[in-house]
Amino acid sequence: MLQSQIDQAAGRSIAFLHSLAGVDGQPEGVMRISTELDLGRWPGMLLPGSYNGIMALDLLGGLADWPEDRRKALCHWFLRQRQSDGIFQIPGIDPSETFKKPDPVETKLYMDYHVTNYSLGAIEALCPDEVPVLDFLDEMLDPLRLKAWLSDRDLRDPWQEGNNIVNLASFLLLKLKHDPDARDAVEAAIKILFDWHERLQEPATGFWGVGQALGGTPLLHAMAGSMHNYHLWYALDRPLPYQHRAVDYVLGLKPDWHSACIDVDTVDLLIHAQQASGYRKDEVDQWLRLKLEAILEQQKPDGGFADTNHSIWRQDGWIGGYFDWPGVSTSFATWFRWIAIAMIDDHLWPGRRPWRFRSMIGIGYRKAPNNG
What one-character-per-residue DSSP string does 16-53 give? HHHHH---TTS-TT---SSTT--TTT-GGGHHHHHHHH
| pLDDT tens per residue, range 83-103 | 999 999 999 999 999 999 999
Give the integer Cα–Cα distance in Å for 206 and 202: 5
pLDDT in the model for residue 370: 59
The span from the CA of 195 to the CA of 191, in Å, is 6
Residue pLDDT, tens place only, 305-361: 999 999 999 999 999 999 999 999 999 999 999 999 999 999 999 999 999 999 999
10 Cβ contact list (under 8 Å, min separation 6): 60, 338, 353
The CA distance from 307 to 336, in Å, is: 9
Of 300, 360, 356, 294, whose CA–CA distance to 331 is shortest?
Answer: 300
Q: What percent of the chain has pLDDT over 90?
A: 98
Q: Which amino acid is at 99?
A: F
Q: Sorting pLDDT into bands at 50, 70 and 90, what band is 369? A: confident
First to last CA, the chain: 29
**Tens digits of per-residue pLDDT, 281-307?**
999 999 999 999 999 999 999 999 999
Task: Check pLDDT > 50 for residue 163.
Answer: yes
Task: Output the pLDDT for position 371.
Answer: 39
Confidence of residue 217 (pLDDT cuts 50, 70, 90): very high
Distance CA 153, CA 155 (A): 6
The chain-wide mean pLDDT, for the chain, equals: 97
Residue 294: CB atoms within 10 Å: 16
- Minimal CA–CA distance to 44: which of 60, 23, 14, 62? 23
Question: Count of domains in the chain?
Answer: 1
Local confidence band at 230 (pLDDT 50, 70, 90 cut-offs): very high
* Residue 210 near residue 148, CB atoms below 8 Å: no
Residues 34-55 pLDDT 10s: 999 999 999 999 999 999 999 9
Q: Are 271 and 366 contacting, i.e. CB atoms less than 8 angstroms apart?
A: yes
Q: How far is CA 155 from the centre of its chain?
A: 20
Q: What is the pLDDT of residue 362?
A: 96
CATH number of the domain within which 167 lies = 1.50.10
| pTM above threshold 0.85 | yes
What's the pLDDT band for 62 if we cut at 50, 70, 90? very high
Domain that holds residue 256: 2-371
- Any residues with CB less than 8 A from the CB of 195 and at least 6 apart, and which? none
